[in-house]
Amino acid sequence: MNRVYFAKKLLEISEVKNKTRKSTIKKVKEKLKERINKFRRYRFYVNGRVLDVGTGSGIDLLALFSINPEIEAVGVDISKKALKFARDILPKDRTHLVQADVIYLPFIKETFDAVNISYMLHHHPPKLLRRIIGNLTAILRQNGVMLISEPSVKSEADALRQEIYTLKYDLKNYLEIRRKVSSTDTQFHLYSLVSIFDCNTMYPSLLKQILIENDLKIEHFEIITEKFDRKEAKKLIATIKTQIKRSDIPNYEKAYLLDKSNALYEKLKLIDPAGDRSMVFKVKKKARN
């Protein structure tokens, strides 16, 4: 496996650790209804054994238990801290929590009646996406169902153009910075700072292609556009401004960045931006004849 992948994973684990520290059972329960509604909307009614990969706080498994308390749940996550949190909110007698990388799942073929993936695939580059979907298809039983919910790019065409140009210009910048960096620790941090190492651009058409390659039957596909939260955006800009003001960068840099932040308020008044997009695929593993 590539060293960049491993370094990024380590950074991600510590990020999830920090996020989990801020999470509370109350906060998870506030979002529970939303997740229950998601499963009802896509008629993801599980009987038997379900796998939730990248389970995080365990919210989706909790929602599935609320719909059917008889399921047997398996939650996998690379973060021990997240699993510890999930352990506290899920029924102990019907849940197995496993710390593993989704690339190397420790399960035998055709073990699960259903697989749920929620906001985990976008952490992986396309080559690994193929491997993950391949592995998950293998451990799913015939006629088993997989529900995938992931963030989606707004426009594939715009995103592709943006990716090509970002790669071109940021690669040039990266090569210059990289020459000046000798510590391995700093090198690894660059992977989360420099956009050329990002892999969170999920294209519905690419995921669809991978699902088809695995001979999965697409039962439902949907793109959801959330409402853009202007209030939240205003709060975010205010936080950014405070951060700039409190920083120890030179005053001329502060002034430049504050001007830029203020321009965002103006744009926000003029434009009605679209909210985040997510995609949902419900697929079924075909039965062998």
Ligand X SMILES: C[S@@+](CC[C@H](N)C(=O)[O-])C[C@H]1O[C@@H](n2cnc3c(N)ncnc32)[C@H](O)[C@@H]1O
Cβ 212 to ligand X, closest distance in Å? 23
Nearer to ligand X, 55 or 137 (CB): 55
Q: Rg of the chain over CA atoms, in angstroms?
A: 21
Cβ 125 to ligand X, closest distance in Å? 11
Question: What CA–CA distance (Å, rounded) separates 187 from 177?
Answer: 10
Closest among 160, 268, 143, 260 to 205, alpha carbons compared: 160
Cβ 226 to ligand X, closest distance in Å? 15
Tally helices (H) and strands (E) across the chain. 10, 7
| 3-state DSSP percent of the chain in helix, strand and coil, to 5 | 55, 20, 25
Question: Cα(first)–Cα(last) distance of the chain, in Å?
Answer: 36
Q: Which two tokens stand for residue 218?
A: 């697409």
- The length of the chain in residues reads 289
Beta bridge partners of 50: 73, 114
Q: Which single residue is written with the structure tokens 């679209």?
A: 274
Cβ 7 to ligand X, closest distance in Å? 13
Cβ 13 to ligand X, closest distance in Å? 6
Nearer to ligand X, 174 or 201 (CB): 201
Q: Exposed e or buried b for every residue in 176-193, given b needs 16+ CB within 10 A? A: eeeeeeeeeeeebebbee
Interaction site with ligand X (CB under 6 A) = 12, 16, 54-57, 59-60, 76-79, 82, 101-103, 118-120, 123
Nearer to ligand X, 263 or 275 (CB): 275
Nearer to ligand X, 53 or 216 (CB): 53
Whose CB is nearest to ligand X? 56
Closest among 141, 142, 131, 72 to 105, alpha carbons compared: 131
Beta bridge partners of 94: none
Nearer to ligand X, 149 or 214 (CB): 149
Phi, psi dihedrals of residue 22, rounded to the nearest 5°: -85, -15
Cβ 52 to ligand X, closest distance in Å? 7
Nearer to ligand X, 60 or 113 (CB): 60
Cβ 213 to ligand X, closest distance in Å? 20
